Amino acid sequence: MKFIVSSLKLLKNLQALSGVIGSKNTLPILDDFLFQLTENELKITTSDLDVTMTVSMVPDMVDGTGEVTIPARLLLEIMKNFPDVPITIAVDNSTLAVELIAGEGRYKLAGHKSDEFPQLPVMADTSVWEIPADVLAKGFEKTVFATGVDEIRPIMSGVLMEMTENFLTFVATDAHKLVRYRRMDVKSDVVASFIMPKKPINQLKNILATLSDEPVRIEFNKTNASFVFGDYVLICRLIEGRYPNYDAVIPKQNPNQLIIDRQTFLSAIRRVAVFSSKATHQVRFRIAGQELTLTAEDIDFYNEAKERLSCSYQGDDMEIGFNSRFLQEMLANFDSEMVKIEMSAPNRAGIITPNENENENEDLLMLLMPVMLNA
């Protein structure tokens, strides 16, 4: 079999798929790309058994049909070094020898049989959603950073997607922080939820962000979900289990409300956090009147930092401590100019929301548990 494609187009598709390939695969065949050529289409697939991703493209020329797997690392390395030129890939169907021809260059490598490559899972009893690509990308982007890495509670290592007749909700938590991103402009008669693992989310979100409002067809059952968009299909195993009741942990009564410029606040946290304890990353908030004082200290090394910021505050004077690393992650994931922090007591979670919503169909809420203040 033989085909001709643009080197840049092929490279772009190979790079999009390469994130699926694991660093320590149990099967050698999982280190390869699967090429499947028909009379009018080339399909390229990667898999790590839990995530399988395929891209379809139309070659400029096709001669013959067939299947072969090609070592991914070697193919990517050579493709990165071609300018934008037509590239011919010829495969001997009997020996599986692969030859790349570009201009005066000829490159030979060994292909492998495709029969050991994992088959796509057969999905039965599925439900279907259609979600705009930009909504899906933003939902993943706003929440995936808050997922946990606790092997004992694998459900917290993924993002909950929950659809109702009124809105679509994305939720992530690691028990220290929680993010809930909700879209009022996406709803479905198919009321359901599932937990997406982190790896396919990271694989999807960068590609989806380039597709604007193109619809993504999501087909899912209790064990797998498939995402069909553009020239791509991604199928992944879902995380099984019951997600925690996230609404129950969001405090409803928060009489103390602080409003502050997000970028000024984030920059100050970054400066002060340099001097915080490397064990707790604690930054102390002291709020009095219309002034917020940030303090961090590392007693072991006699390091200390203090910075005062102006803010708008309603409520009782209070002191509360937060993990500065978590707080920086959260503030960096807001788009709004001003943020609102709602608090009730030094031992209760703080709620962070945009002070003004540019998109009335968006609802973003982040929750951060406090850390115990040093005496």
| Residue written as token pair 């807001």 | 334
pLDDT of residue 242: 94
Instruction: Identify the pLDDT of residue 375.
Output: 55
| pLDDT mean by block of 10 residues, the chain; 375 residues | 97 96 90 96 97 97 97 96 96 96 95 94 93 95 94 92 97 97 95 96 90 90 96 96 94 96 98 94 96 93 94 97 97 96 96 93 97 77
The C-alpha atoms of residue 114 and residue 142 are separated, in whole angstroms, by 38
Maximum alpha-carbon separation in the chain = 80
Nearest to 206 by CA among 16, 54, 50, 52: 16
Q: Which CATH superfamily is domain 251-368 in?
A: DNA Polymerase III, subunit A, domain 2 (3.10.150.10)
CA geometry: angle 354, 359, 360, nearest 5 deg: 90
Neighbouring residues of 271: CB distance < 8 A, sequence distance ≥ 6: 305, 307
The answer to whether 2-110 and 251-368 have equal CATH topology is yes
The type of residue at 375 is A
Whole-model pTM: value is 0.94
State the Cα–Cα distance between residues 226 and 355, nearest whole angstrom: 36
Q: Which superfamily, per CATH, for 127-247?
A: DNA Polymerase III, subunit A, domain 2 (3.10.150.10)
The domain made up of 2-110 is a member of CATH 3.40.50.800: no
Contact call for residues 129 and 136 (beta carbons, < 8 A): no
> Taking the domains of the chain in order of start, what are their residue ranges?
2-110, 127-247, 251-368
